[in-house]
Structures are given as structure tokens and as C-alpha cells.
Amino acid sequence: MLRLLQIEFQKLWLNKTSKVLIYISFIFPLSILILSSIKINFFGYFTLDLSETKIFEFPYIWHITTFFIAFFKFFFAIVVVSMIGNEYSNRTLKQNLIDGLSKKEVILSKFYFILAYCLVVTALVFIITLLIGIFNTPSADLYLDNILGGSEFILAYFVKLLTFFSFCLFVGVLIKRSAFALGFLFISFIVELILYGLFRFKWYNYEISNEIMQFFPFTSMWNLIDEPFSRIISVHNTQEMFVTDYGAYWYEFLIASVWIVIFIFSSYKLLKRRDL
């Protein structure tokens, strides 16, 4: 595993574009630290202090940070897709096979790198979220149950990243060229939205539509971390106008995990059948 991980790391580190994108994908999670301390003065009339909204306090902070930071995954998605595109265009894939790597090891080397990246980024998000929560939560509320309440979103964030990047790897193997692969990812997302619209407004009701769509890849990723906006509003609303279940359930993790297996296995099967 370490040998395969080292091989992939050396390839990406020698690519300047990949190196920059990896740096950016690590830097952006730090932006939430800046956001939590921002105070905006609107021409002296009033000052917007986000820390006073309680969204940076435990247990809400786990939900808020993982939801918004997950949008920055698209930077590393370019790296994942390029890993395969560059292999084909530079013919390094064929050279690796000549040097003794099997096609299974080629796919595993890329999956191991994706897994390592997801672990490191998730650890970084965990530390950042923990620090923001400690600094913004009143001392009276800094007890273990409150601090760890909602921390399951960190695991959901990890699984969400791993599922998405596994999908990117599969698309990279399927399409070969990076630009077309990224386009295919976008089209897949749009198609899934259209299908949801058809299920929702033409054939079935809201509940049945969600039951069906939860098995689709992008929806399964989305379901791991639900939108937090209604929760943010409900923090200051005592009338409980918003009744939403924000929890991440075991079956949502299971569905996403099945997609990970499908994407990695399909990537290997595609590569195995191709004549390089």
C-alpha cells in the first residue's frame, strides 16, 4: 500500500497544476476560521457579527462547517480526473505496466491516494471545527455531550468526499480525457436533477421521489449532510416553524459506501478490458 501511495504521490507532486490544486483544496477549509471571526460594519448603522448568531457554537458548528467546506471538493476533483487523463496522454500508464505494476495496482494506487487525501482533509476539518466551537461556545456549554453532539457529520463528510472522488476516478477511467470527464460529471449531476424533477412533479409525490432518488450517486452524497439553512434559522426561532431531521443515518452511509465499491470495481474492470 505504501509503495503504491508513494508512486502516485510522486507523479502528482511533479505536476505543477496538481500541486497547486492540492494546496488550494487544503487552504480553503481554513477560510471558515476567518469567516467565524469576521465583523462587517454597514456604514456605521449596524455591525454584522456572525459569531453572535450561534452557528459557530456546539453542536451546530459540526453541521455548518462540513456542509459548506464540502463544496470545495471540486478543486481536488480536477486532480483526480487529471490523474487518469495524464496517464493516457503521457503514456505513463503503459510504462507502469511494463515496469511491473498490474492494472489492479494502478487503480489501487489512485484509490489509496484518494483515501489518504480524504483522511487528511477530514482530520483538518475536525481540528478547525473543534477550535471554532471551543472559541465561540460559552464556557457553561463546553461539556462533552454538547461538544461531540453532531460530530457524526465529520464521518459523513469523509464518506461524502470518498464517494465523490471515487466517482471522479471512475469517470476519468471511462472518458480518458480530463476536460470531457469533468463535463460528464456536470452532465451527470444535471441529469440526476432532471430525474428528481420528473419523479417529484409528474409521477410520484415528495416522499416516494426521495425514496427512489436516495439510491442515486449525487443524492446519496447530498443526504449524508443535509442543508443547514433551516437549522440556522430555527436556532433563533422558538416557535419551531422548521421541523427537519438533520441526522446522518446508517443506511445513508451504507448506500454511499456501496457506490464507492461500485466505482472502484468498475474502474478496475474498465481498465482491465482495455488494450493499452
**Distance between terminal CA atoms of the chain?**
24
- Contact between 223 and 214 under an 8 Å Cβ cutoff? The reply is yes
Structural domains counted in the chain: 1
CA 50, 56, 61, 66 dihedral sign is positive
Task: Give the residue numbers spanning the domain of 47.
Answer: 2-273
- Taking only the tens place, the pLDDT of each residue in 32-79 is 776 666 665 555 555 555 656 677 889 889 998 999 899 888 888 988
- Taking only the tens place, the pLDDT of each residue in 153-197 is 999 999 999 999 999 999 999 998 888 999 999 999 999 999 988
- Taking only the tens place, the pLDDT of each residue in 228-268 is 877 777 766 655 555 567 778 899 999 999 999 999 999 99
For the full predicted model, state whether its pTM sits above 0.85.
yes
Write the single-letter amino acid at 229: F
